Amino acid sequence: MNTFDLIVIGAGPGGYVAAIRAAQLGLKTAVVEKEHLGGICLNWGCIPTKALLRSAEVYHMMQHLDEFGLSASNLQFDIKKIVERSRKVSSQLAQGVKHLLKKNKVTVFDGMGSLKNGKTVSVKSTDGKTTDLTAKNIIIATGARPRILPGLEPDGKYIWTYKEAMIPETLPKKLLVVGSGAIGSEFASFYNAFGSDVTIVEVMDQVLPQEDHEISERAKKAFEAKGIKILTKTTVQSLKVINDNVDAVLKTATVEHTESFDRVITAVGVVGNIENIGLESTKIKTENTRILTNEYCETNEPGVYAIGDVVAGPWLAHKASHEGILCAEKIAGLHAHSINKLNIPGCTYTSPQVASIGLTEKKAKELGYELNIGRFSAVGNGKSIALGEMDGFIKTIFDKKTGELLGAHLIGPEVTEMIQGFGIAKTLETTESELMHTIFAHPTLSEMMHESVLDAFGRAIHL
């Protein structure tokens, strides 16, 4: 009864997708989940934050009604209702995952799963009972948790991780965000939109450190124009709660000073959940809190795979889901395609939005490529002007010798929806010729993509 073809430990966007795909392929499949179907992404990450940011976007639009010939008085917001809507969105999708698993006849075990060996998973339920499951194949999809730096430990009340930042009872008047990656920058945008005085501290020399430098610079200007203070090349030495405030010691290369904030959000990355899952009973190897795998997500233990945030980055939900499908298809005996990480898009839902895929200009040059680079501003796009959202541009990077699209970097309205066009282009190994001869509908924001490609080869029309 407790023997399966595949057991998946963890039901996040990697685990539950792997389980469904395996079931579709005829494998008897079980999922072990200790807390939330859908994982962090659906319950405390990607989805609920986008619901919060949608409220911020609508509120921002309300404050600029006059530009569209509209008017309203006594504009207000209710942070409790905003949070409540976010939680409802999350709950609805979690129920959807439960339905999908049931529909596909995946057996769900509630509890903490750990490996007894490479073929057996022990499940400890909340009531303390233990059940052993066996399978020929196991996928570890245990995800990650916030990285905690010494001296910056969260207390859940004054010093927050993303979880507390998602469910505020009141808005802080003065907020410090430690880290300017996607999570930190998105929360900074949200709280800034509702009137908090926000400061971002980043140890690197640019905000959104993973992005192309030009995109980062434009994002910095946009954030600062909205009133967000940005301190790069700065570290937070310590945090101390004093009289309902948090004193932060901020240090640059030359200066150290103390500043007081109502609340602090720490967003300095994540660490893999590799503890207490029985790795020591297997041949699985780890490095820097991540399970080591090959290009097909196989660990050193035969028949055991690992996917998502518990393995090497990028730590993105869509990458985890794709890895889950890869594993399920390989286990089922299908021809599995390894993932080209340069074809994985990244999206940041700040205001303005940021999206990218492939190499940055700096990285492409470091690798020795000769480049053709195109840029096109949202100011020259009719749809952007009609929407009243003209802050942004698109940058495309091509190999001068072959015409290969090496990277695309976008900032501006709805670029998180447009990036997939470049994703398809890279997957198909499209060159500049195919992109230039593609007909883009008018009037659309996507025309900026076309113009950026044309500009890389001196053929832009609307520059």
Kindly report, residue by residue over 188-239, the tens digit of the pLDDT.
999 999 999 999 999 999 999 999 999 999 999 999 999 999 999 999 999 9
The answer to whether the annotation marks 113 as part of a ligand binding site is yes
Whole-number mean pLDDT of the chain?
96
- Tell whether residue 184 is among the known ligand binding residues: yes
Q: Which CATH class is domain 352-456?
A: alpha beta
Looking at residue 340, its pLDDT comes to 96
**pLDDT score at 1:** 64
Reply yes or no on whether the pLDDT at 345 is more than 80: yes
> 159-268: CATH homologous superfamily?
FAD/NAD(P)-binding domain (3.50.50.60)
* pLDDT for res 23: 98
Average of pLDDT values for 319-325?
Answer: 97
* pLDDT classification of 324: cutoffs 50, 70, 90: very high
pLDDT tops 90 at residue 42 = no
Q: Is 50 annotated as a binding residue?
A: yes
Does 215 show up as a binding residue in the annotation? no
Q: Is 180 annotated as a binding residue?
A: yes
Q: Is 202 annotated as a binding residue?
A: yes
From the list 213, 318, 442, 450, the catalytic residue is 442
The answer to whether 329 is annotated as binding is no
Check if the beta carbon of residue 248 is closer than 8 Å to that of residue 259. Answer: yes
Q: Is 183 known to sit in a ligand binding site? A: yes
User: Do 200 and 180 contact (CB within 8 A), yes or no?
Assistant: yes
Instruction: Based on the residue annotation, tell me whether 450 is a catalytic residue of this protein.
Output: no
pLDDT of residue 375 exceeding 80: yes
**Does residue 427 surpass a pLDDT of 90?**
yes
What pLDDT was estimated at residue 357? 98
Total-model pTM: 0.95
Q: Which residues of the chain form CATH 3.50.50.60?
A: 2-146+271-341, 159-268
Query: pLDDT, tens digit, for every residue of 70-111?
Result: 999 999 999 999 999 999 999 999 999 999 999 999 999 999
Q: Residue 433: is its pLDDT beyond 70?
A: yes
Superfamily (CATH H level) for 2-146+271-341: FAD/NAD(P)-binding domain (3.50.50.60)
From-to residues of CATH 3.30.390.30 in the chain: 352-456
Q: Is the pLDDT of residue 137 over 90?
A: yes
- Residue 363: per-residue pLDDT: 98
